[in-house]
Amino acid sequence: MDVKSVPEQYILKRWTKLARSVSLPNVSVRHVVEDAQLTSTQRHRDIFPRLMRIVDEACRSQETYTLLSKKLLIYWTRKC
């Protein structure tokens, strides 16, 4: 099959150069409500790598491991 051109009827207006230069008709603006789960995900992505570095460092010796374990236990008992 040797296609040299596409018939006009198969070309959508949004694909043409003219479509790019024409402004959109009145489109209602929607106010996006911040998604609490997305914010939670962003916080997770921010803090997780830092916590992993702390864990990696703490696991290098028994002394740092014990120190971190005790601090985490204190944190969790105060939180609950």
Q: How many C-alpha atoms does 24 have within 13 Å on its Cβ side?
A: 5
**Computed over its alpha carbons, how large is the radius of gyration of the chain?**
28
- Cβ proximity of 59 and 65 under 8 Å: yes
pLDDT of residue 26: 62
Q: pLDDT 10s per residue in the chain (80 long)?
A: 777 888 888 777 766 677 666 666 666 666 666 677 778 889 999 999 999 999 999 999 999 999 999 999 999 999 76
Task: Tokens 């696991």: give the residue.
Answer: 59
Residue 68: which domain range? 3-78
Three-state secondary structure call for residue 23: coil
Q: What is the pTM of this model?
A: 0.48
- Cβ proximity of 55 and 46 under 8 Å: no
Q: Which one-letter DSSP state was computed for residue 22?
A: S
Domain count, the chain: 1
